[in-house]
Structure 1
Amino acid sequence: MDPLILGLLVAVITILVLFSGISVANGLLVVAAGFILAFDGLRSLELLPEIFFGKLDNFALLSIPMFIIMGASISSTRAGADLYEALDRWLTRVPGGLVISNLGACALFAAMSGSSPATCAAIGKMGIPEMRKRGYPDGVASGSIAAGGTLGILIPPSVTMIVYGIATETSIGRLFLAGVVPGVLLVVLFMAWSLFDTWRNGSAAVLTARRFSLREKLEILPRVIPFLLIILGVLVAMYGGYATPSETAAVGALLCLGVAIVIYRLWNLRALWIVLRDSTKESVMILFIIAAAGVFSYMLSSLFITQSIAGWIGTLDVNPWVLMICINVFLLVAGFFLPPVAVILMSAPILLPIVTTAGFDPYWFAVILTINMEIGLISPPVGLNLYVINGIAPDIPLKTILMGSLPFVACMILAIVVLCLFPGLATGLPELILGPAV
């Protein structure tokens, strides 16, 4: 059978299997084993266990459970509420300062926890009622938190960037740096839209807010500054060449757990057990998907599907930007239905050779791919963040939350356009600090 037709058949069957409700990892394993058995015979299946476990034989993978423990330690405390309150106290007299403080808290908490749903829950529980009380439209109040929660997969340290680096064998440190400026760009666009929409709807109530004394502003800082210093220390150690991503993640996890115990008195053994249990579950899920995706990639390669697709794309007389638009549409559709980790592991090894052959930078593409995954988190039919917000504020209709999040989807699309016009926004910082990519 022609490899291109076979590739189309694999794509259709994979989609059908994943839509059946089976887990992503098991679905990839079933499809890979089925096609290898059908086209390479029974003896080829002997290689699958070796490929499966070999994919996990990577020192960089240690950073994933460590960063997850780091985020779980923060998510299990009042750190999100304190971060929100600290920003609110310092920005309360700024026109529209509450929505700015909410988005800022989302960005910082998402960077610390790396979890989009946890960010929505932690900041939304306090931020949404307070914004509504001060006259912000329900759409802005709910949509800004839903969108702000997505920033965790772009702003470092990011688990999805680690997964991309492992899948494509690119530098994790350089990927982290590539996400900094685009992450700040998204925060600025989110804030600009929120302030414009608030002004457009004539919500004068947002301009009236309580005054906080300098003492009240300063007294809350000791509870949030340690976490911020840990994040800063992790990044400095990584980019300063003092430690590898896995080593800095381990130290960061230990320090975050220590701060949670000392400052937030998380010394209850049951609470600590929940943190470690949930972290283990999430880590195993991600590592299982990584291993299964390795088997799936092997199947595509052994049947010459990957090579044939790359060769076919190379023979097309298509403008590289037309090709990039098609790739973005594909990523958007995939992100509507599948979690970011699954999309990255399934698509990145196939798309990266095509993207680099077309002359695009792999680190720039990582940022574009990640923003597409962010859009999927606040877009139906899955739109995980939309349902988290609806659970926090059930009296806000899901339709209102969706309509409130759509302008932020437009902001993300605008960010992709800006990055296409000025790719240096993603590649400039890595080249400045680490030098040109080899």
Structure 2
Amino acid sequence: MELLSTVFLLILLLALLGGGLWVALSLMLVGMAGMMMFSSAPMGDVLATTVWGASNSWALAALPLFIWMGEILFRSRLSEDLFSGLAPWMGRIPGRLLHVNILGSGIFAAVSGSSAATAATIGKMTIPELSGRGYQQNMIIGTLAGSATLGLLIPPSIVLIVYGVATEQSIARLFIAGVLPGLLLVILFMGYVMIWSLRQPKENLAKEEVLPFKEKVNRSRRLIPVVLIISGVIGSVYSGIASPTDAAAVGVLLSLVFSYFTGSLNRKSFIEGLMGATKTSCMIAFILAGAAFLTVAMGFSGIPKSLASWISTLELSPYALLFALTLFFIVLGCFLDGISVVVLTTSVIMPMVEQAGIDPLWFGIFLVIVVEMSQITPPVGFNLFVLQNLTGRNILQISKSALPFFLLMLVALLIVTVFPEIVTALPDQMGG
């Protein structure tokens, strides 16, 4: 009976989403349908208290602040400073300036928290620059598509905040847990670019000028504001001085100061950044409220508990369960954005995960890496849309360029599964 109920509600949800209804409203309507059909609890009271409870969360205050920080920096000179500061050091490494896409995306991810913002900001700067220097288009696009997804993993990650709120996990611990897996992905991406470059005929590779050491150091000074922002945000969380919400406020303040002194901040850019952050934050908060109501409605109906019991009767090993969930999330990610995937699934998935003895903190990072992979899978890979807009190429060409980086993320997923300490080591040191 529960399985039929689940199938019915899933079909209803897909029909509503397929019809173009907002994700938040779709979640609420499915929750209402579930409560009317499978529970006698007062739906109106439950809806009101759940939506208020989901909106009235202090942990959620970090979300608009980090989004605003990303919006400020998106409109600043940050991407130009990143390129100018990193490029002189990449001239002798196999792959040369392609590594600027990877390192630039990793650094911008640490100050924006958004995958799409990372792709758009770094792409606007590096695509014309690298194309003009003769780099292969498929590698320019591939390195950008893959590296931009680091915005979901390297703190401050908006998706990790959403996961923390939805599953009542410590956002500070989730942030720190994302650091080493993020660095692992950067290393895998750079290693692939080096191997690819060494296998190319020399005449196919772009030439770069070699600068004296003093000039390299001089140009790298443009990275100082970026490093200060990252240190202010991540350092204050890791040292225990500030909560993620306090750190987000520090990040906004540093971003405004940095933008002002570089001449990027004016009345127009300030208002545009504020309005962009408001729209994005409202959308995410609305989705979280809808997801919270659906979670409570499912609890009243008993469906998650029954599903978890059913899964346990299959006697899947934790690895088999993770494999099944990976396939499920990748398919779901083909049709929904990362935040929607997280909030849609946590209420049903978490009882199964906990029953299998999987650490919820580790699973959060695992889930985010899978969601990263879905950002570069057609037809609804958000990074693919951003790059399509920047390059004018069709979605299939961009997907083909991104494929090696999708496979590298799969390798990273296997590594953190076999060696979970990569995720848990820093949070364990942090304590709490």
Shorter-normalised TM range: over 0.9
Q: TM-score, normalising length from structure 2? A: 0.95
Are 1:171 and 2:176 an aligned pair?
A: no
Q: Which residue of 2 aligns with 1:122?
A: 121
1:352 maps to which of 341, 350, 353 = 350
> Following TM superposition, by how much is the alpha carbon of 1:203 offset from its aligned partner in structure 2, in angstroms?
5.0
Aligned to 1:370: 368
For residue 91 of structure 2, what is the amino acid of its counterpart? T
Contact 2:111–2:229 (CA under 8 A) maintained in structure 1: no
Q: Which amino acid aligns with 1:181?
A: L
> Whole-Å Cα distance in 2 between the matches of residues 289 and 398 of structure 1?
27
Amino acid at match of 2:422: L
Unpaired segments of 5 or more residues in structure 1? none
| C-alpha distance in 1 between matches for 2:353 and 2:22 | 29
Alignment of 1:414 with 2:418, yes or no, is: no
Instruction: Answer whether contact 1:137 1:198 (CA < 8 A) is retained.
Output: no
Q: Does 1:308 align with 2:316?
A: no
CA shift at 1:126, angstroms? 2.8
Aligned to 2:101: 102
CA contact (8 A) 1:120 1:146 kept: yes
The percent of aligned pairs where both chains have the same amino acid is 37
SS state of the match for residue 55, structure 2?
A: coil
- Structure 1 partner of 2:84: 85
Partner residue of 2:426 out of 420, 424, 429: 429
* CA distance in 1 between partners of 2:52 and 2:10 (Å): 24
Question: Which runs of structure 2 are paired with 1:260-275 in the superposition (5 Å)?
Answer: 260-266=259-265, 268-275=266-273
Partner of 1:68: 67
CA distance in 2, matches of 1:134, 1:263: 27
Distance 1:364 1:256 in 2: 31
Q: Is the 8 A contact 1:75 1:122 kept in 2?
A: yes
Looking at structure 1, the residues matched to 195 and 238 of structure 2 have their Cα atoms a distance apart, in angstroms, of 37
1:122-152 residue CA offsets vs partner (Å, 9 max, x unmatched): 2222322333344432211111111111100
How many pairs are equivalent? 432
Aligned mates of 2:3, 2:94 — CA distance in 1: 57
- Partner of residue 282, structure 2: 284
Question: Partner of 1:284: helix, strand, or coil?
Answer: helix
Question: C-alpha separation between the residues in 1 aligned to 2:57 and 2:76?
Answer: 32
Q: Which moved more, 1:329-338 or 1:254-263?
A: 254-263
1:324 partner SS: helix
SS in 2 for 1:5: helix
After superposition, the C-alpha distances for 1:317-337 in whole angstroms (9 at most, x for unaligned) are 222211111111111111111
Deviation readout 1:3-61 (Å, 9 max, x if unpaired): 23212211121112111111111111122123323444694223212211111121111
Instruction: Specify every segment of 5 or more residues in structure 2 that has no aligned partner in the other structure, as ranges.
Output: none
Are residue 147 (structure 1) and residue 146 (structure 2) matched? yes
Q: Distance in 2 between matches of 1:127 and 1:265?
A: 19
Q: Aligned to 1:156, what secondary structure does the other structure show?
A: coil
Q: Note the alpha carbon deviations across 1:228-251, whole angstroms, 9 max, x for none.
A: 212212222212221211111112
Contact 2:84/2:220 (<8 A) preserved: no
Alignment match, 2:136: 137
**Cα distance in structure 2, aligned partners of 1:282 and 1:166:** 17
Q: Which residue of 1 aligns with 2:160?
A: 161
Counterpart CA distance in 2 for 1:39 and 1:318 is: 28
Tell me the alpha carbon deviations over residues 142-192 of structure 1, each in whole angstroms, 9 at most, x when there is no partner.
Answer: 111111111000001111111111111111111111111111111111112
Amino acid in the other structure paired with 2:357: G
CA shift at 1:219, angstroms? 4.1
Shift of 1:400: 2.6
Contact preservation (8 Å) 2:90, 2:96: yes
For the 8 Å contact 2:32–2:43, the answer to whether it is kept is no
Q: CA deviation at 1:397?
A: 4.4
C-alpha contact (below 8 Å) 1:107/1:148 kept by paired residues = yes
Q: Tell me the distance in 1 between the aligned counterparts of 2:5 and 2:264.
A: 57
User: Using the alignment, how far apart are the partners of 1:372 and 1:423 within structure 2?
Assistant: 15
Name the amino acid aligned to 1:295.
F
* Structure-2 residue corresponding to 1:3: 2
CA 193–8 in structure 1, closer or farther in 2 if over 3 Å, else same:
same
1:209-248 paired onto structure 2 within 5 Å: 209-214=208-213, 216-248=215-247
RMSD: 1.8
Indicate whether 1:334 and 2:327 are aligned.
no
Post-superposition Cα deviations, 1:312-369, rounded to whole Å, max 9, x if no partner, equal 2223222221111111111111111111111111112321221122122212111111
Structure 2 distance, partners of 1:193, 1:132, is 20
Give, as a single letter, the amino acid of the residue that structure 1 aligns with 2:410: I
- On the 8 A contact 1:147/1:378 being kept in 2, the answer is yes
Q: C-alpha displacement at 1:81, in angstroms?
A: 2.0
Q: Which amino acid aligns with 2:416?
A: L
Please say which of residues 284-293 and 92-101 is displaced more in the overlay: 92-101
Decide which moves more: 279-288 or 83-92.
83-92
Q: Give the SS at the match of 1:193.
A: helix
Query: Is the contact made by 1:93 and 1:207 (CA closer than 8 Å) also made in structure 2?
Result: no
Which whole-Å CA distance do the structure 1 matches of 2:431 and 2:263 have between them?
37
